[in-house]
Amino acid sequence: MSTPAGWYDDGSGRQRWWDGTQWTDNYAPGQAAASASAQAADPSVQSGSAQPGAQSPAAGYPQQAAPAPSGPRLTPTLGYIGLGLAVLGTILACIPMAITFVIGLLVLLAGFVVSLIAVFKKNTIKWPSITGIVLSIVGV
């Protein structure tokens, strides 16, 4: 089984084209935006070959590497909402009246679900979501 053709880090920090069997003399343009622009560029223009990849070589052969950074992280709005619901639900569940206890449990459930959804959103900070999940569990 061979590694598919694509752009790979050649060990020197530059993206180089691997044709599936050997390294070519084609390097991706630019250093700062090499990973983003090289993967978006048409590889047939560079070498007449297959699609770009996202792996790095070691000892002359491509091996799987860590994914490239994916740009700026978004504000975790959904995570903050889940955390807020978890806090509110915990407070309501601690009030010793039947109706506030039931409402508190429902709000805790909503906080848990919203926080769980927020954990799986890409490019967001995760701590509010994780804190909301933990607080929802502790509040119950």
Are residues 89 and 136 in contact, defined by beta-carbon separation less than 8 angstroms?
A: yes
| Residue 1 placed within a domain | no
88 and 120 share a domain?
Answer: yes
Cα angle 115-117-119, degrees, rounded to a multiple of 5: 70
Q: Does residue 45 belong to any structural domain of this protein?
A: yes
Q: Across-strand partners of 56?
A: 63
Do 90 and 135 reside in the same domain of the chain? yes
Residue 21 inside a domain? The answer is: yes
| 59 and 85 together in one domain | no
- DSSP sequence for 16-33: EEE-SSSEEEEE-S-STT
Does residue 125 lie in a domain region? yes
| C-alpha to C-alpha distance for 10 and 63, rounded to whole angstroms | 11
Provide the domain count of the chain. 2
pLDDT tier at 50, thresholds 50, 70, 90:
very low
Alpha-carbon span 24 to 92, nearest angstrom: 65
Examine the fold and report which residue of 63, 87, 111 is the final residue of a domain before the chain moves on. Answer: 63
Q: What is the pTM of this model?
A: 0.50
Provide the pLDDT for residue 48.
43
Domain that holds residue 121: 77-139
Which of 18, 34, 63 is where one domain is finished? 63
**Of 5-14, 26-35, 43-52, 66-75, minimum mean pLDDT range:** 43-52
Note whether 44 and 96 are same-domain residues: no
**Each residue of 92-120: pLDDT tens digit?**
999 989 999 999 999 999 999 999 999 99
For residue 52, is pLDDT > 90? Answer: no
The pLDDT value given to residue 30: 67
Residue 116 falls inside a structural domain: yes
**Neighbouring-strand partners of residue 23:** 18
Over its C-alpha atoms, the chain yields an Rg (Å, rounded) of: 24
Q: Which helix (H) or strand (E) holds 135?
A: helix 127-139
Does a structural domain hold residue 93? yes
The verdict on residue 70 lying in a domain is no
Mean pLDDT lowest for which of 7-11, 28-32, 49-53, 124-128? Answer: 49-53
38 burial via Cβ count (<10 Å: 0-12, 13-18, 19+) = buried
